[in-house]
Structure 1
Amino acid sequence: MTHPIARHGRQKTPNPIALVGRFLVVAAAVVGVSGAAFAAFAAWSVSSEVQTVALAGDMAGPPAQISAIDGGVNLLLVGSDSREGQGDAYGDTEGNLNDVTMLLHIAQDHSSATVVSFPRDMVVPIPSCPDPAGGSFDAMSAQPLNVTLSYGGLPCTVLTVEALTGLSIPFAAEIQFNGVIEMSNAVGGVPVCVVDPIDDPYTGVVLDSGTHLLQGADTLGFLRTRHGVGDGSDLGRISSQQVFLSSLVRTMKSSATLSDFGKLYGIARAASGNMVLSQSLASPDTLVSIALALKDIDLDRVSFVAYPGTTGGDGVYAGKVEPLYDDADVLFAAIAADQPVVTADPGNTGVGAVVDPAAAAAGPASSAAAAPSTTAPADRSAPDATTTPAPDVAKSVTALPQSITGQTAAEYTCSKGNDD
């Protein structure tokens, strides 16, 4: 049975004893594990402040058990630029646009994970989306991806990305500015390398060359800066963000972070008042099960890539990003087949990032596999991400087209300042 789209609303405050009990169960499950971002996933569920929303097609069912989730995962993470309830620090800009849109895919056998970043300025078709107030919004043929959050909320962003990729996305989360700040504080900051100075008057980010422990508002500013990195484009910002994300994965892999109950509880409290979760993520068992699926994935099998696009077009693409659908088909065919992916050439990190000179001097970063092979382009209208691969068969690695930039979590990279 399909549930109607629900208005955002706060869940009832649980019994304090039950709340403590739930936290202890979640924390106990997480502490012995060494996955990438799962401590945050597990901790979100312990707070009474988390808001939930139903995605189109959400199905009711029994919660997962406290073990690695059975099969693969597609989870969409959306960063909102809404100022509502965020205080006076970010100005009084109205609206609610998705600043960041990222898709996490975990393979069926939990051997690899891929994170795809979608340019916020990329012009794409937007399907008809449910109106939270009732009814539905008309489909649109060409609009920037970042309007979907204001058009139909998180469910609309999910529907748009599903149509764009051909993948089913049952899990989704939306995080606001303060959530990013507080969660970076909770993990104790993330070390980020900057190879060229960053000076962005729009976000106030000023960073000299070198390694910086980013925390609090500095983290948010770094993730949001566009004019200060690469060529000043949305594509440059994505590659700079991937410098942060790969370092975050390495940081969260450390046993010190995962065994620190104070940090785990801090992450839970940080996320609670600044997130909207799909109802499919509201169960603590589901959150922990997804987390546990990441625990044994090697750093060189965690890939961060950008949806391919170009700038400098005209018409509806003037000043925006035009998607390269054929190249994207190669990426999503690999994801649908649960194949690990690598960039076409080592160091193809995009205009906002470069290989860390210190890492380059020490030798090439480990690759995801020795013999990459390309796959046939996918049919965007019908790929199935739920097919379980045959057991005991070594997977080939898909070498992506040159237009798809990115890196693995095993590669040490630096953000590149915009020197224009």
Structure 2
Amino acid sequence: MSLAPQASDASGGAGRHGGGRRKGGTKADGRRRRRRALRWSATVLAVVILGTAGAGYLYYQHLNGNIQKGARSSGDSKARRTAPNAAGQTPLNILLIGSDSRNSAENLKLGGSKDSVGSPPLGDVQMLIHLSADRKSAAMVSIPRDTRVHIPECKDPETGKVYPETNDIINTTLARGGAGCTLSTWEDLTGVYIDHWMTIDFSGVVRMGNAVGGVDVCVRQNVWDRSTPDQRGGSGLKMRAGTHKVKGVQALQWLRTRHAWGSDLMRARAQHMYLNSMMRTLRQQNVFTDTGRLMDLAEAATKSLKVSEEIGTVKKLYDLAMEMKSVPSDRITSVTMPNVEDPLNPSNHVVPDKANADKLWEMLRDDVPLDKHGKKPAAKQASDKTGASKAPSTDPGRLGVLVQNATRSSTEAAVPQRARAIGQALVQAGYGRAQADTSGALSADKTVVKYPSADLEGDAQAVAEALGIPVSSVQKSTDVSGVTVVVGADWRTGTSYPKQSKPKAGDLPEGTDAVNGSDKSKCMDVYKPYQW
């Protein structure tokens, strides 16, 4: 039996009566065939869509399963979010941490000694990525790994172990409660609220370097970072003078090199140059229309990064990447925290150069662009949280005010009798019950006035006004029982708070070693013993 008549009979056409069809058929026959074809097409399309969607969903879940997550913060921090600008936008701060963990065969093969296996990892690379509220500028800020800082009490979210507060170099924070402790230490030091963290280890750097396809870097002289008679170790980086595309293991070598650049501080510059070059490379690549490339990058990124739990999905990481991608290269500024030799260990450690470092932190807190192409941020929205004054509820003479001496810093001892001097100034201003806290000197970078409950907010603001302290430094806090003036390291002399000049866009403090994201001319100088 012929298949053609069966098909015709099934359709109810002329063949059903045994008659033949004219060449081309009738108009009705054509409409029936088109409807039948459309039904088949719709069925096939539905199967394809469902199949693709199912595969896409499974792949999305696979990528989500790659991502490791951890608690955002594991320490005590008083940092507060920057208030929204006039358009209701807020800055975004992400802490990027490079781990030196050797606790896998892959990482051990890529660097380090077997003696390090089993030891808690150190955070040898620490860099804050700051996206401005309007997403028109960005900053990358590094703190050298050997910077001695105050580390707050941290609790390991996985084991429950509590690490007491201490004073140590900042790269040890990763071993004291994970990345959440590193984040809390940064917030304690800078006063900048950090929204998220990401960590990456040796093998992650190699995977990402390969997925990107290579990044251009430059050296002025031939370099070989190796052991010398005076210095053991080295990354193994070896290349001739000029510009080279590095990826995989060589990219890791570039990022780990420090002896050949002359210091750990110059390593930060090399890392900034690499990341700037990577961002320029990704902009030039047609990643989002090249499915294969996009999948390679997604696979590498999700396997390479461990992130704070609130951004632990592919969608949230993709959204973050899109926000970063929107910033032009010439509006990205990379800097290193201004620093000086540590008086307790000048040959090995550094400490913040207080005045210049504080200015940098202020620029980040106030969302002032680090590049000169930016404008002054739009005025903040008026609200009780951002500075609107409230009327005092208590007569000054009856209000109890406690004054604490927190002028001690990592580099300077506390100013003797500081709380007593400010307490007497308040008494002269009519606050007869003001008194100094005699329990001992504390440590705080910035002077603040704290109050425990909303009914005392107006009184705290009035106390701040009496001393010349800006209303933005008045904070609600659960760790005080009444209005409390915390005299910080920024107010070591005088009884009237020193007026602070606000930094302008591009007005960077000294010692930041700034690199612009669009600058392709930068080359690393090689320390003489490592030239060949």
2:78 matches 1:73: no
Unaligned 5+ segments in structure 2 are 1-51, 76-87, 227-233, 377-443, 449-471, 474-502
Identity, in percent, stands at: 32
Asked whether the equivalents of residues 74 and 180 of structure 2 are also in contact (C-alpha less than 8 Å), the reply is no
Asked whether the equivalents of residues 45 and 284 of structure 1 are also in contact (C-alpha less than 8 Å), the reply is no
Amino acid at match of 1:414: C
Counterparts of 1:165-176 in structure 2 under 5 Å? 165-176=190-201
Quickly say closer, same or farther: Cα 1:339–1:55, change in 2 above 3 A: same
Tell me by how many angstroms 1:57 deviates: 7.7
Asked whether the equivalents of residues 131 and 138 of structure 2 are also in contact (C-alpha less than 8 Å), the reply is yes
**Deviation digits for residues 144-201 of structure 1, max 9, x if unmatched?**
1111111211111111111111011121111111110010100100011111222111
**Deviation digits for residues 74-130 of structure 1, max 9, x if unmatched?**
111101000122424124223311121010111111111111011001111100011
Partner of 1:401: 509
Partner of 1:288: 318
**Deviation digits for residues 335-367 of structure 1, max 9, x if unmatched?**
12211114xxxxxxxxxxxxxxxxxxxxxxxx6
Amino acid at match of 1:163: D
Partner of 1:51: 68
Quickly say closer, same or farther: Cα 1:224–1:321, change in 2 above 3 A: same
2:89 matches 1:84: no
Partner of 1:260: 290
Partner of 1:186: 211
Counterparts of 1:18-417 in structure 2 under 5 Å? 20-21=56-57, 46-56=63-73, 71-87=90-106, 88-89=108-109, 90=111, 91-92=113-114, 93-94=116-117, 95=119, 96-131=121-156, 132-140=158-166, 142-201=167-226, 202-229=234-261, 232-311=262-341, 313-342=342-371, 368=373, 380=446, 396-412=504-520, 413-417=522-526
Asked whether the equivalents of residues 19 and 46 of structure 1 are also in contact (C-alpha less than 8 Å), the reply is no
Higher alpha-carbon deviation: 215-224 or 325-334: 325-334
Quickly say closer, same or farther: Cα 1:285–1:119, change in 2 above 3 A: same
Tell me by how many angstroms 1:224 deviates: 0.3
Asked whether the equivalents of residues 86 and 177 of structure 1 are also in contact (C-alpha less than 8 Å), the reply is no
Quickly say closer, same or farther: Cα 1:317–1:159, change in 2 above 3 A: farther
Amino acid at match of 2:104: G
Asked whether the equivalents of residues 137 and 327 of structure 2 are also in contact (C-alpha less than 8 Å), the reply is yes
**Deviation digits for residues 17-39 of structure 1, max 9, x if unmatched?**
66723867xxxxxxxxxxxxxxx
Tell me by how many angstroms 1:256 deviates: 2.4
Structure 1 distance, partners of 2:74, 2:164, is 18
Partner of 2:421: none
Tell me by how many angstroms 1:404 deviates: 1.1
Amino acid at match of 1:216: G
Asked whether the equivalents of residues 170 and 280 of structure 1 are also in contact (C-alpha less than 8 Å), the reply is no
Q: Which structure: greater helix fraction?
A: 2
Asked whether the equivalents of residues 240 and 416 of structure 1 are also in contact (C-alpha less than 8 Å), the reply is no
Amino acid at match of 1:291: A
Amino acid at match of 2:57: G
Backbone CA RMSD of aligned residues? 2.9
Higher alpha-carbon deviation: 216-225 or 327-336: 327-336
Structure 1 distance, partners of 2:282, 2:446, is 34
Structure 2 distance, partners of 1:51, 1:19, is 22
Structure 2 distance, partners of 1:310, 1:324, is 5
Structure 1 distance, partners of 2:354, 2:288, is 39
Asked whether the equivalents of residues 45 and 268 of structure 1 are also in contact (C-alpha less than 8 Å), the reply is no
Structure 1 distance, partners of 2:329, 2:199, is 25
TM-score, with normalisation over the residues of structure 2?
Answer: 0.58
SS of alignment partner, residue 368 of structure 1: coil
SS of alignment partner, residue 341 of structure 1: coil
TM-score, with normalisation over the residues of structure 1?
Answer: 0.73
Quickly say closer, same or farther: Cα 1:283–1:381, change in 2 above 3 A: farther
SS of alignment partner, residue 275 of structure 2: helix
Structure 2 distance, partners of 1:19, 1:148, is 41
Aligned positions, number:
333
Structure 1 distance, partners of 2:254, 2:325, is 28
Structure 2 distance, partners of 1:268, 1:296, is 19
Unaligned 5+ segments in structure 1 are 1-15, 25-43, 59-68, 343-366, 372-377, 385-394
Structure 1 distance, partners of 2:137, 2:55, is 33
Asked whether the equivalents of residues 100 and 122 of structure 2 are also in contact (C-alpha less than 8 Å), the reply is yes
